[in-house]
Structure 1
Amino acid sequence: MPRRSRNTPVKTRSVNELLETTTPEHPVGKTLEKEMAEDENDRLGVNDFLGKQPRGYQSGIKVPQFQATNFEIKQTMLKMLELIGQFGGYSNQDPNRHLVEFLDVCDSFKQNGVPSDVIRLRLFPYSLQGKAKEWLNNLEEGSISSWDDLEEKFRSRFFPHNKIVDARAKLMNFSQQFDEHLYEAWERFKLLVRQSPGHNQEKWVLLQIFSSRLTPESKSELNAVTNGGITKQPVNHVWSCLDDLAADYIQNSNERKQVKSVENAANDSSSQVIAMLNTLNKRFDHLEARVDKSNRGQLGVNAIYTPCDYCGDGHASEQCPTCQQVEPVNYAGNFWGNNQNNPYANTYNPGLRNHPNLSWKHGSTLDQVSTSG
């Protein structure tokens, strides 16, 4: 194909010519856009296209026009969305539950002149995160213009048909567990119903499924609660009775938990007091043992360091070594000392030397006796 010079005049087509070539498969609007694109390619080069300012990011959600001009997203709305939690597309998150909770938040805000679709479309991006937010950002620009479109695309992406089949199978194969109470089985059954959108089962069918899968004891309790069972009472009455039963058991369970927590707190307090008393008793016993040991030690010191009567040292007087050495000497001294003046002693008595009758002295008694003779 020969190259067209930039100076070659471009052949343009009039509206009448376009209308003549327009077919139902190629409407005039599409033809005009195509002609305009061809004209730009004929008139502009690559550098010209690079120099054009790119358009900003365009969301996949196209919010419909509405008359109110003062609508704005308030912090209260965002806070309520935080309470329900953002959906990230994780395996442990339920997309159907997220939609239900999101719609509850949106329905709590009403503003004159603002359609509900506008509120939902404006708030929904704030309820997503992670992979779910990335999915929304990657949607084709302006491909969603109503809430029904967005809900359908959201379910098909995060709750595909295989999950729908699995959820429906769990609902239809429901069975009460061996150790499960009637109200617990009812709450679990309702959860399966919520997790299986489009199950197309009416209330009376669901009650029949639930009743047929109960244990004999739970069936008897169901008949007593509903005053006749599901076959003798209206469907809504049976449904309400089961809801009331579950609510009563949950409330009583919470009260029992509170009482149990108070009892546990009291038991913990008593245990703490007993532990403190035991600790104090151990400390007193330890202190008493130290005092007894100190007293015994003091008594021993006093006994050891009592002054001796003989030498003044710190031992008993009867254990004094000086006393043990002195006794033989005293014994010997007492022996000689007691016999030194004894005239009838068998040993030499040096004391007799000083006896008046055994010594001579002028003027003594012996001298007088000899002179008179």
Structure 2
Amino acid sequence: MAARVVTPPKQQHEQGEINEGDLPVSIFLTPIAAPMRFSIMYPDFGVNNFQIRPDWINLMSNTLQFYGLPHENPNTYISNFLRNCQNFHAPGVNEDAIKLRLFPFTLRDAALEWLDAEPHASITTWEELIRKFCTKFFPPARVAKIRLEIQTFQQKEEESYNEAWNRFNELMRKCPNHGITQGNQVQYFYTGLTPLSKSQVDASAGGSIIGKSVQQTMDLFESIATIHSMFSSERVIAALTKQVELLVKLQTHGANAMMASSACENCGRNHATKSCMMLTSSEEQVNFIQNSSRNFNSYSNNFQQERRPSLGEMFQQYGQKTDKVFQQIDTNFQNQQASIKKLETQIGQIAQQLAERPQGTLPGNTMINPKEQLMAIEVVENDPPRAPVKVKAYVPPLLFPQRL
């Protein structure tokens, strides 16, 4: 019987005859190293012997990271990335080449996995990278959500005018491709304002914004927000009010309940809340702003409209009233500090007295009981007097004497 000759796998491959059944099992069990692949096709720098400095990479990697989380905004991230890249400038070097090489060092977790999962050399330009990046992490559904927030914008109850304007602009910056015209922006913002803020805008516009152009109205919105940020004291008053309330609680802690109930809820002084100067001043400011655009002469028989105050006069009077409120708050704050200092002094004196008293003694002096020892006297007729007999104090017997 003739022996069967098996051709080695290498020779079978050379001859084009590969039989999988003749291959060793180790070929299928040994892991194969993945080939090096890059989703970005990096262009040349345009200058010979140029390399990106390591400090550039460390700066971008440590100060700017994008993880691909739902709350992260890729548009804001791209804006910050481009702002940092402006600090890296080399004459004659292709800037897109620098951006494409620095971009992967700022990605983390899901964002880096997305970049590695892209096909090999599928990204060749910076514009293509940004388009794919925004499509992945800022899908159309998210754009539609922000567009709806802009269209249904509403000023919050405790939100000032400048805070509402800044929040509206922040929504616009979050979605650069919102596609909303400037005229619609004016409509959405003005419609969402509270009646008080609308009256302020109308008074600043000379009665109404209908006669203004779109650009003039946008400039008016911005100027009012700027003036409010300079003179508005709502946030400062709220912070000071919280501090005063805390001081009032510390001062009235342990005091008479009747005195605590008579204190004002706004400033903490001993008067009714309805008659507080702070509340009266706030109501005067609101009434002044609401009635500034419709101030009529009540003493004229023909109801002739008086001259409307200018915007500068309105804000000057508003600033004066605000200064009075600040002065009142400052006076209340100083009074509360003086009261707290008195309480601290009294508590310190009490603590010092407790520290000087010996331990294990009562605050007062103790007296010895005069009946601590009893003396029994027996009197018998026709007997000479006897010396008093001392009665021993009763001592109870020991329990369980067998244990001793």
What's the TM-score once normalised by structure 2's chain length?
A: 0.53
What is residue 23 of structure 1 aligned with on the other side? none
Percent identity of equivalent pairs:
23
Distance 2:130 2:345 in 1: 62
After TM superposition, the structure 1 = structure 2 runs for residues 204-219 of structure 1, keeping only pairs within 5 Å, are 204-219=183-198
Alpha-carbon separation, structure 1, partners of 2:242 and 2:59: 32
Aligned AA (2:351): L
Match of 1:130 among 109, 112, 116: 109
8 Å contact kept, 2:44–2:94: no
Cα offset for 1:282? 8.4
Matches within 5 A, 1:202-351: 202-224=181-203, 231-232=211-212, 234=216, 237-238=219-220, 240-242=222-224, 244-245=226-227, 247-248=229-230, 270=340, 273=344, 277=348, 280=351, 283=354, 290-291=361-362, 295-296=366-367, 299-300=368-369, 303=370, 319=375, 321=377, 324-325=378-379, 328-330=382-384
Q: Deviations over 1:240-260 (max 9, x none)?
A: 4255256447x9677668767
Aligned to 2:126: 147
Amino acid at match of 1:290: T
**Please, which runs of 5 or more residues in structure 2 have no aligned partner?**
1-9, 251-336, 386-404
| 1:159 maps to which of 135, 138, 153 | 138
What is the root-mean-square deviation in Å for CA atoms of aligned residues? Answer: 4.6
CA-CA distance at 1:163 after TM superposition: 2.0
In the alignment, what sits opposite 2:97?
118
Tell me, in whole angstroms, the C-alpha distance in 2 between the residues paired with 1:108 and 1:257. Answer: 41
Deviates further, 260-269 or 103-112: 260-269
The offset of 1:200, in angstroms, is 2.8
Letter in 2 for 1:110: H
Distance 2:124 2:118 in 1: 12
1: CA distance between counterparts of 2:79 and 2:90? 21
Which 10-residue stretch deviates more, 227-236 or 258-267?
258-267
CA distance 1:56–1:183, change in 2 (3 Å): same
Per-residue displacement from partner, 1:27-64 (whole Å, max 9, x unpaired)?
xxxxxxxxxxxxx99989899xx9xx978522212222
Look up the SS of the partner of 1:99 in the other structure.
Answer: helix
> Structure 1's 128 and 253: CA in aligned 2 closer, same or farther, altered over 3 A?
farther
Q: Distance in 2 between matches of 1:150 and 1:244?
A: 38
Q: Whose radius of gyration is greater, 1 or 2? A: 1
Q: Aligned equivalents of 1:292 and 1:304: distance in 2?
A: 24
Contact 1:95 1:155 in 2 (8 A): yes
Contact 2:40 2:124 in 1 (8 A): yes
Using a 3 Å threshold, how does the CA distance of structure 1 residues 327 and 295 change in structure 2: closer, same or farther? farther
Give unpaired runs (5+ residues) of structure 1: 1-5, 8-39, 306-313, 332-373
Number of aligned residue pairs: 272
Residue type at the aligned position of 2:172 = V
Alignment match, 2:169: 190
1:203-236 deviation digits (Å, cap 9, x = unpaired): 3442233123323321222244567765537356
Q: Distance in 2 between matches of 1:258 and 1:75?
A: 43
Instruction: Supply the distance in 1 between the matched residues of 2:57 and 2:229 (Cα, whole angstroms).
Output: 29
- Structure in which a larger fraction of residues adopt helix: 1
Q: 1:246 to 1:292 in 2, by over 3 A?
A: closer
Q: How does 1:93-108 map onto structure 2 within 5 Å?
A: 93-108=72-87
Q: CA contact under 8 A between 1:81 and 1:102: conserved in structure 2?
A: no
Distance 1:213 1:266, change over 3 A: closer
Deviation at 1:157, TM superposition (A): 0.9
Compare relative contact order (CA 8 Å, sep 6+) and give the higher one, 1 or 2: 2
Structure 1 contact 174–210 (Cα < 8 Å) conserved = yes
Name the counterpart of 2:302. none
Structure 1 residue aligned with 2:151, among 164, 172, 176? 172
The amino acid of 2:219's aligned partner reads: H
Change (3 A) 1:292 1:137: closer
